[in-house]
Amino acid sequence: MRDDTSGEFPTLARLGEFAVIDRLVRGRRQPDAVLLGPGDDAALVTAGDGRTLVSTDVLVQDRHFRLDWSTPRDVGRKAIAQNAADIEAMGGRATAFVVGFAAPGDTPAAQVDALVDGMWDEAGRIGAGIAGGDLVSAPQWVLSVTVLGDLEGRAPVLRSGARPGSVVAVAGELGRSAAGYSLWEKGIEGFEELRRGHLVPEPPYGQGAVAAAAGAQAMIDVSDGLIADLRHVAEASGVGIDLSTAPLAAGRDALAAAGHVVGEDPLAWVLGGGEDHALAACFAGPAPTGWRVIGRVLDGPARVLVDGAEWSGYAGWQSY
C-alpha cells in the first residue's frame, strides 16, 4: 500500500501510532468471549465459569525469531500459538490475546499488517480474538503477548499432580522445530516441512481439554525441550520420570535424514529440542485418543531418566 500524499510506502513513523492501530483493528470480528475490543481504555472479556487463565510470553527479534527466515505473518502466528499452548497445558481454551508490539519507526506498515494478519489467522484456529494491545518505538521488534483462557468448568491441570505408577504421554510433534532450526542455521535447503515447523509451531489444539477430561494428573507445554519441561513436572510433583526411547523411535526416524545431513543426533532433537509446543501429561489410567505413551512415573527423587539412565545430552533451552 502506498502513501497517497508522498508516493512512498508508509512506515510506522509516517503514519503515526493511532493510524497504525486503526489499520490493525479495523474490520476485525471478535469472538463472543470478547465483549469489548480495542477502542476504549481497556478491553472487556468474559470468563465462562468465573475463572480466567492468564499467561505471557515475550519474543525478541534475533533471539526468538529472525526476519530473514520468517515472514511477519509467520511471526504473528508463532506468537499466538506458543501462548495458546500454555492455556492448553492447563486444560483450558484460549479466548483472547493482548499484544504489546515494539518496532523501529522505519518499519514498513505493510509488515505490521502481515504480522497482525498472522495473529488473527492463528487465533481464529481456536476461536479466540485479539482484544487489545499497545504500540511503541524500539530499535528492534519485540512482542509481548498475554493470553486469557477459559477452563469451561474443568479443574486446572497443574504440574504438581503426577503420582508414581502413572504413565507419561505426549500429544503433538517432538524435535521438528529443533531440526528445522539446525537446517536454517546451516543454510541447508530442502526438508521444507521441518524448516517450516521451526517458523510456525502447531500445538495440538484441543488436546489439553481432552487430557483434562480424561483425568490428567499433571501437564506441561513442551516449549523448552521434553526432558527440561518434564523436569519441572518431576520437581513440582516430587517424583521421578523414566522415558522410553522405543515409543519415540518413530519421531526420531522421521528426523533421521535431516540429522544425517546436518551431522546431529535426531534423538537429541526429540528429547531436548523445544518450540514444538507439544503437550506432555501424566495419566493414572490409559492415555486418551490422540496421546501416545512415552514413559512412566517413578517414586522420587525428582529427575528424568531415559531408558532407566541419566541423559547426558542436550536437555533443553534456558534463557540465561
**Which residue ranges make up each domain of the chain?**
12-150, 167-310
Is-contact 168 243, C-beta < 8 A? yes
- Report the CATH fold assignment for 167-310: Phosphoribosyl-aminoimidazole Synthetase; Chain A, domain 2 (3.90.650)
Question: How would you write 217-243 as a 3-class SS string?
Answer: CEEEEECCCHHHHHHHHHHHHCEEEEE
Say which residues have a Cβ less than 8 Å from residue 74's Cβ, sequence separation at least 6.
65, 118, 199, 200
Equal CATH topology for 12-150 and 167-310: no
Say which residues have a Cβ less than 8 Å from residue 304's Cβ, sequence separation at least 6.
227, 230, 231, 234, 240, 241, 242, 243, 311, 315
CA atoms within 13 A on the CB side of 156: 15
Give the span between the Cα atoms of 291 and 288, in whole angstroms.
Answer: 6
Q: Look at the pTM and tell me if it is higher than 0.85.
A: yes
The one-digit pLDDT tens for each residue of the chain (320 residues) are: 444 444 468 999 998 888 888 877 778 999 999 999 988 899 999 988 899 999 999 999 999 999 999 999 999 999 999 999 999 999 999 999 999 999 999 999 999 999 999 999 999 999 999 999 899 999 999 999 999 999 999 999 999 999 999 999 999 999 999 999 999 999 999 999 999 999 999 999 999 999 999 999 999 999 999 999 999 999 999 999 999 999 999 999 999 999 999 999 999 999 999 899 999 999 999 999 999 999 999 998 999 999 999 887 665 555 54
Give the span between the Cα atoms of 184 and 198, in whole angstroms.
Answer: 9
Give the span between the Cα atoms of 97 and 88, in whole angstroms.
Answer: 14
CATH 3.40.1710.10 fits 12-150, yes or no: no
